[in-house]
Amino acid sequence: MAAATIDVPRWTGPLPTRDQVAKMIDHSLLRPELTPADVAAGLAVALEHRTASVCVRPADVAAAAAALRGSDVAVGTVVGFPHGGGTTATKVFETGDLVSSGAQEIDMVIDIGRLRGGDVAFTQDEIAAVVHAAQGRPVKVIFENCYLTDQEKVAGYQAAEAAGAAFVKTSTGFAGGGATAADIALMRRTVSRAVQVKAAGGVRTLDALLALHHLGATRFGATTTASILADLERRLAGEGGNRWTP
């Protein structure tokens, strides 16, 4: 069940440049039915728009690394996706294997049930093991917030920071809930500025991206990259000097 599109009012504040927004997007190519041709087309979209990264399925990492070699678009992928129920050893092996295949960023799903059961030490240790296996590459920790209480979320975010994660991330996009304004604000309040916040699940419009960026998200998982950027270009053309200063 995919997360619903985030419904927010039209953004009326200053607008960032096209390049600034593109470098906040991880273009997502994770749907299970994507063919090799679909993946190739998605990689072309990421290259055309010079997104921060593409986030591909593990089986597509080697092909993505070859296609994006020499570009400034990073190859991201997922570990323990989408349910997080694999063993720590499996996640560590998967991370190492994907790094060897060319992955430059790792989005890992925690064992959600263990965190819900109160075993925060397990959560921290598992994240730390994946961070170590990533060999210095950024690890984004997916919490699937719709299954967690605020108390569980805070404990998990703090564990992720202690374990050396680069990002805390809202969701996989494959559960019943995705990114929300309340969760982005909570994530930003909970972790230090050394840890970034990634919003994923329902971020399909420019208005949603800008609203969540205003609350503290700096990276976004999105499948609608081209339409988001096209909307931004239309607004920039029509709104003159109303520009965002980062």
**Given the residues 60, 107, 111, 183, the one annotated as active site:** 107
* Tokens describing residue 197: 């916040």
**Given the residues 26, 140, 169, 183, the one annotated as active site:** 169
Ramachandran area for residue 71 (φ above 0: left; ψ -120 to 50: alpha; else beta): beta
Active site residue 107: yes
Instruction: Report d(CA 53, CA 110) in Å as an integer.
Output: 21
**Given the residues 23, 91, 140, 198, the one annotated as active site:** 198
Active site positions, annotated: 107, 169, 198
